[in-house]
Amino acid sequence: MSLIYSPAEDSYLMQEVLKKNIKDKNLKILEIGTGSGIILSTLKEIGMINVLGVDINRNAVKHCRDLGFNCIYSNLFSNIKDKFDRIIFNPPYLPEDKNNKEDKQSKLATTGGEKGSEIINKFLKQAEKHLTEKGKIFLLKSNLTKEVNWLNYKKKLLVKKKLFFEELQVWELSL
């Protein structure tokens, strides 16, 4: 049974960004990696009605559906056909723990590959096909995440937050 990612500082930082930056209630929004549903709840709270959540963890999908959200199983965009005005992603972004002290469940939720950027880079390659012309991505990463390939995205740092061992950053990306 896969554990559902519990909200932490990264989730709360993304919540703040969305409350400040998403105003148009008619936007078509996709959240990749719903976890506990905290971001879906935030979107509902600010009045968004056209929202789809996806997760690679079937337990997270069931949990979010049980909360009343439109949520499907998908590995990034594998089961997504549409285009969206906003795509939100708080990915696993930490580099692999070389000491291998992290358990398998935790690693799945937090580790983005050897450099921390492998899942983000895969996401960025796939995302451009799913963004509307004026679409934007809200992407969270850490200063510990190495070698992000930003491709042709225009990027703007919206906020950063210093924690005891890292700095979290939320980027707004557009084509």
Report the percent of the chain where pLDDT is more than 90: 80
Structural domains of the chain, ranges and CATH numbers in brackets: 9-174 (3.40.50.150)
pTM of the model: 0.93
Which residues are paired to 94 by β-bridges? 111
pLDDT in tens, 24-73: 999 999 999 999 999 999 999 999 999 999 999 999 999 999 999 999 99
Query: What single letter denotes the amino acid at residue 9?
Result: E
pLDDT at residue 1 in the model? 56
Q: Which residue, 175, 173, 171, 174, is CA-closest to 17?
A: 171
The upper half-sphere exposure of residue 18, i.e. CA atoms within 13 Å in the direction of its Cβ, equals 31
pLDDT in tens, 140-169: 999 999 999 999 999 999 999 999 889 999
Q: What are phi and psi of 14, to 5 degrees?
A: -65, -40
Q: Give the helix ranges, DSSP H, for 22-150.
A: 38-45, 58-66, 104-110, 118-127
The upper half-sphere exposure of residue 50, i.e. CA atoms within 13 Å in the direction of its Cβ, equals 13
